[in-house]
Structure 1
Amino acid sequence: MKHDFLLYKDFKAVDFFEDEAFTSYYLSGMGDDLSFWKSLVNTYPYLEQEIEKAIQWIELLRDQPLHQSKIDNETRWSRIQESLPLYVQAQDRLYRIRKIRRWIAQVAAVLLLGFTIYEVGQLGTKMNNTGYGEQRELLLPDASVVQLNSNSRLKYVRDWKTDKPREVWLDGEALFEVKHTAIKNRLQQEDYFIVHVGDISLTVLGTKFNVKDRRGHIEVSLFEGSLQVMDKIGLKHILKPGETFIYDKVADTEQVLNNRNIQEALSWTRGEMVVEHQNLSDIIEVLEDNYGYSVELKDSSILNKRLQGVAPLTQADDILFVIRHAMQLDMKVEGKKITINSK
């Protein structure tokens, strides 16, 4: 009988134990194959220990006495008949379980297909939205971080090309912490991060800044790095840390401020609203833009009423409480409609 050495070169004891050719050779004592197994051990000496262990297992089984049943055939048949109903019930349960598993697998396949179709459809543009009173932190494909304020939208192309600038489109308000990707002493177009907001574009490298676009009024506050402000015509300003660029689309006016408390622009990320120098009309805009309220003012003379200090901004109810008691106003809230009047 011919064997292949390569077939056995990686065998373990359990493999020899389960190998029909080896067990037949050992149990029958056939001498024809003796030379093969000796040659195998000479070729692969490390197999000798495995073969000896397999032989021990074979001897152990061969020495076991045969099991003799203590019941006769009639009793055995009777027990089989008694167990048949239980067996049928068990098989029925197993069938139902398998049927449920198949149904779950089919549902999962449909859901997976739907998710795959959705993901493929989203390969072009990724849109992130926040509802009224909601804030979200986003991690962009380049590891830049964006904190999105209430009622805001950020859009970008998922598959950013390595040879093109990183671009996002913002509607609302967000705090950006842009990852710097340029190598020292090398600055190329693909290293730029561009934020499109309204009619202007902000071109940055590694920079931290806040952008707010509400009611045709764009406000950009720079905390770290450098920021280029562009419009459709070209370069308008290069901001430095501590400066704020303000653009009024309706009036077509712009200005750069550097003498204001720039940290006020970050108050919303701390769940606060700095109301210093703000009047009631500014607060009403926050209620409408960030929380989706419709505000009706019965007395226009109170629009210029001012508050001082810091108001909590985690919930709209906090703001309502402050202006109701600090400004001494009569306020009625019905769902998402607020009616304000002087007392």
Structure 2
Amino acid sequence: MQKYLTYQAIDFAKDERFQVWVLSSSSDEDAFWNSFLRQYPEKKTEVAEARRMVLALGQPHPVVSESARVRIKQGIYQQIKEVSPPTAKRQINPYWIAASVLLVVAASVFLFIQLPQNKVLSTGYGEKKVVTLPDGSEITLKANSRLRYAKVWEKGSDREVWLEGEAFFHVNQQESQSDKKTRGSSNYTSFVVHADKGIDISVLGTEFNVSSRSEEAEVALKSGRVRLEFQQNQQARTLLMKPGDLVEIKHEDHQVLHKQIDIDDESAWKENMLVFDAITLAEVAQKLKYTYGVDIVFQNESLAERKFKGFMPSDNLEVLLDAFRDLYGIQIDRHENQIIFSTKPSADMIE
């Protein structure tokens, strides 16, 4: 019981025993939590808020459902002999022209066949997909995102993907055949994620989350090693990340923030949850825009700057909006894809 004395609402809501008490009818749990509240009445507000979070999450709701890198075979054009420029005394045989055209066409067809073809996957608003890559690595693609990669990866070459949006990566260690012969069995091919604005994430076997949007990019590392390469003020920078690190790169003002976080919160969207760690409602609105394609308009600036900490279900927008309405006393009016947030003067808001 003592451990709960330091808990805030979000901690109670994430506690399995607390969830059992809220969502089931157990006399033992009733006795425990009622006794706890009698002994520590100062926790009633936190417990009440946590109950509302768990109940909102527990409601039944439906699950909502290329500059490609070109590699040209060496010597392909060696089959095409250069023809000396014609002179006034030399006649060009029309059959030569026809043969040259046919040869170029044949070479082009050969090139097309030899080039690795790309696979492109995308998700709509409110949708996510699980993708298995050619090396067995697994990617969970978040809503409103796009992933591109070659259908076939050659052994010994870098494994590359291009991401627009957000995804969680579980990368397999993949041993290079050339490394086996030259350096032993301890080396692996690199896995490289190319994000927007020239950001490259190079990794070995690891788990990490990448968000690449127009305003900023974020990389959060759960396990393994990551080398992050990007441009800051027209200078190339490299950061080595360790588990629990989050790096935020803001494109407009070139700010870079490097801090430690709870990685499970950062990737909670995989389990149909959105976790907000004391961010403004304006920042919450931006995340909802990317996930659901809705524009949230604030009636006044003070409402947009209010802070929110907690977690909500991410697979049903209406449940999430109901939770905001109940927790913060916000009046919410929806007109198709526009949602208006306004305050109720008489509402008893949670600070």
**Band the TM-score falls in, shorter-chain normalisation:** 0.5 to 0.7
Q: What residue is the counterpart of 2:207 in the other structure? A: 208
Instruction: Kindly indicate whether residue 223 of structure 2 is the aligned counterpart of residue 230 of structure 1.
Output: no
Does the C-alpha gap of structure 1 residues 148 and 320 become closer, same or farther in structure 2, counting only changes over 3 Å? same
Q: What residue is the counterpart of 2:190 in the other structure? A: 192
Deviation track 1:269-326 (CA, whole Å, cap 9, x = no partner) reads 1111122302211221122111011222222220122233221112111221111221
TM-score (norm 1): 0.61
Are 1:228 and 1:235, in contact at CA under 8 Å, matched by a contact in 2? Answer: no
2:263 aligned partner, one-letter code: I
Give the length in aligned residue pairs: 222
1:133 aligned partner, one-letter code: G
Deviation at 1:261, TM superposition (A): 2.1
Q: Which has the larger radius of gyration?
A: 1
| 1:219-258 correspondence runs (5 A) | 219-231=218-230, 234=236, 236-258=238-260
| 1:109-148 correspondence runs (5 A) | 124-148=117-141
Instruction: Kindly indicate whether residue 166 of structure 2 is the aligned counterpart of residue 180 of structure 1.
Output: no
Deviation track 1:93-151 (CA, whole Å, cap 9, x = no partner) reads xxxxxxxxxxxxxxxxxxxxxxxxxxx8x962111100000010000011100000010
**Long gaps (5+) in structure 2:** 1-112, 345-351
2:193 aligned partner, one-letter code: V
| 1:1-343 correspondence runs (5 A) | 124-182=117-175, 185-186=184-185, 191-198=189-196, 199-231=198-230, 234=236, 236-258=238-260, 260-343=261-344
2:249 aligned partner, one-letter code: Y
Are 1:307 and 1:326, in contact at CA under 8 Å, matched by a contact in 2? Answer: no
Does the C-alpha gap of structure 1 residues 185 and 239 become closer, same or farther in structure 2, counting only changes over 3 Å? farther
Structure 1: how far apart are the matches of 2:258 and 2:290? 24
1:212 aligned partner, one-letter code: S
Does the C-alpha gap of structure 1 residues 185 and 256 become closer, same or farther in structure 2, counting only changes over 3 Å? farther
**Long gaps (5+) in structure 1:** 1-119
Structure 1: how far apart are the matches of 2:151 and 2:236? 27
Q: What residue is the counterpart of 1:81 in the other structure? A: none
Deviation track 1:46-103 (CA, whole Å, cap 9, x = no partner) reads xxxxxxxxxxxxxxxxxxxxxxxxxxxxxxxxxxxxxxxxxxxxxxxxxxxxxxxxxx
Which structure exhibits the higher relative contact order, with contacts defined as CA atoms closer than 8 Å and separated by 6 or more residues? 2
Structure 1: how far apart are the matches of 2:236 and 2:301? 41
Of Structure 1 and Structure 2, the greater helix share is in 1
Where in structure 1 do 4 or more consecutive aligned residues deviate above 3 Å?
183-188, 232-235
Are 1:307 and 1:327, in contact at CA under 8 Å, matched by a contact in 2? Answer: no
Are 2:285 and 2:295, in contact at CA under 8 Å, matched by a contact in 1? Answer: no
TM-score (norm 2): 0.59
Are 2:137 and 2:172, in contact at CA under 8 Å, matched by a contact in 1? Answer: yes
Q: What residue is the counterpart of 1:64 in the other structure? A: none
1:321 aligned partner, one-letter code: D
1:243 aligned partner, one-letter code: D
Are 1:332 and 1:339, in contact at CA under 8 Å, matched by a contact in 2? Answer: yes
Deviation at 1:239, TM superposition (A): 0.6
Q: What residue is the counterpart of 1:51 in the other structure? A: none
Structure 1: how far apart are the matches of 2:237 and 2:342? 46
1:333 aligned partner, one-letter code: R
1:304 aligned partner, one-letter code: E
Structure 1: how far apart are the matches of 2:343 and 2:218? 31
| Identical pairs, percent | 27
Are 1:293 and 1:336, in contact at CA under 8 Å, matched by a contact in 2? Answer: yes
Does the C-alpha gap of structure 1 residues 324 and 215 become closer, same or farther in structure 2, counting only changes over 3 Å? farther
Structure 1: how far apart are the matches of 2:291 and 2:310? 20
